[in-house]
Amino acid sequence: MIKIEKRNDVSPSIYFLTPILAIFLTLFGGGIIFYVLGFNPIEALKFFFITPISDLYGFSELLIKATPLCLIAIGLSFCFKSNNWNIGAEGQLIFGGIVGGGVALLFYGHDGFYVLPIIILSGAIGGMMFAMIPAVLKTYFNTNEILVSLMLVYVAKLLLDYLVVGPWSNPEGFNFPETRQFSESARMPILFDGLRIHAGIFITLITVFLSWLILYKTYLGFQIKVSGLSLKTAKYAGYKGKTMIIIVFMISGACAGLAGVGEITGPIGQLHRNISPDYGFTAIIVAFLGRLNPVGIIFASLIVALTYLGAETAQIFLQVPKYTGQVFQGMILFFLLGSDYLLFFKIKFLGLKKNEL
């Protein structure tokens, strides 16, 4: 007979070490998969995890890929910490992109330092407003935020489709589903010549710092944590649960909106149907891998970003199927959740007693 018991004493250092363990297990598991597929595992892992960042360009690409993941995951950590399951960051990203992109098109041909800040701000507000829909429905009508936020992803996607196909499509673009290229004044400044890394990284770093400040140094952060640990305690303490739910969704949505506007004003430079390769969903893995901790999320976003780049390099050099990248992301999450389970629960193997037979 097997008995599962909750452990009461989980040391914090092990709690933060398990993600690293999960990564090593993933490397090991990945090596086995490569071996089974007929590749030299060491060589394949090298192409997967080292080659992509062996030069400055690769490193800049890693940061570009990690930036939206980090931003969204930081926002999600507010929701997840307080037991609010916002699954629709992808939709909030897209809606932020739509609002920011709309403003960018409005300012088409305008020069001026104020253009970009207005676009970025409107993108953040766009994401925030979109995230408020599931929050308000949850607080006032008791709807399930998982379903509502998830379904709103499709609403945002279809709205973007409609806009780039119809009213916002490039008048000189032969009806292709895309807007004009934004003016130079609406683009994130490039930091180094020849690289694509742009000023959006500063926005991300500032957001990470502010999140840390809010989560660990303010009363609101304390409320968020307490509500996450026990909703009843929070109620007894007299916290205004409804306001808090709306606030965490607003923060989360604003971060996703920022990520969206960073993509369209950064490397993409226009609106089209593919502004996000599901960053909003991948960021959920990032948030948990980073233990919902701002610093942890920075590292987690870099690692998950690397699995994207690695999948490309491995296919170029070894013709490994591109989807191994997703297999790696899945394995990381699997091993993390698996080790978490063993971390929080004890499995006892008891002998069978006579009277049970």
Partner 1 sequence: MYKYFLRYIISVLFLLGISAQANADFKVGFVYVGPTGDHGWTYQHDEGRKAVEAAGIKTTYVESVPEGADAERVIRQLAQSGHDLIFTTSFGYMDPTNKVAKDFPNVKFEHATGYKREHSNVSTYSARFYEGRTLLGHMAGKMTKTNVIGYIASFPIPEVIRGINAMTLAAQKVNPDIKTKIVWVFTWYDPGKESEAAQALIDQGADVIMQHTDSTAPVQVAEKAGVWSFGQASDMQRFAPKSILTSIIDDWAPYYVERSIAARDGTWKQQDTWHGLKEGMVAMAPYNSAMGSDLVKEVEQLQKDLASGKTHSFTGPIYDQKGNILVAEGSVADDGMLAGMNVYVKGVEGDIPQ
Question: Using CB under 8 A as the criterion, which residues of the chain lie in contact with partner 1 when the complex forms?
Answer: 55-57, 61, 64, 161, 165-166, 174-178, 181, 192-196, 263, 266-269, 272, 274-277, 308-309, 312-313, 315-317, 319, 321-323
Distance CA 289, CA 22 (A): 9
Quote the least distance from Cβ 178 to partner 1, whole Å.
Answer: 8
> Could you say which DSSP state residue 154 is in?
H
Quote the least distance from Cβ 153 to partner 1, whole Å.
Answer: 16
Closer residue to partner 1, CB minimum distance, 233 or 274: 274
Looking at the DSSP bridge assignments, the partners of residue 190 are: 198
Closer residue to partner 1, CB minimum distance, 177 or 296: 177
CB atoms within 10 A of CB 142: 7
Half-sphere exposure in the Cβ direction for 89 (13 Å, CA): 38
DSSP string, 189-207: PBSSTT---BTHHHHHHHH
List phi, psi (to 5°) of 249. Answer: -65, -40
Rounded to 10 degrees, the C-alpha dihedral 285/287/289/292 comes to -160
Quote the least distance from Cβ 315 to partner 1, whole Å.
Answer: 5
Closer residue to partner 1, CB minimum distance, 141 or 174: 174
Distance CA 258, CA 17 (A): 30
Quote the least distance from Cβ 272 to partner 1, whole Å.
Answer: 7
Closer residue to partner 1, CB minimum distance, 18 or 169: 169
DSSP string, 61-126: HHHHHHHHHHHHHHHHHHHHHTT-----HHHHHHHHHHHHHHHHHHTTT--STTHHHHHHHHHHHH
- Cα–Cα distance list, 337 to 33, 101, 182 (Å): 20, 37, 42
Closer residue to partner 1, CB minimum distance, 33 or 226: 33
Closer residue to partner 1, CB minimum distance, 56 or 342: 56
Quote the least distance from Cβ 236 to partner 1, whole Å.
Answer: 48
Closer residue to partner 1, CB minimum distance, 41 or 58: 58
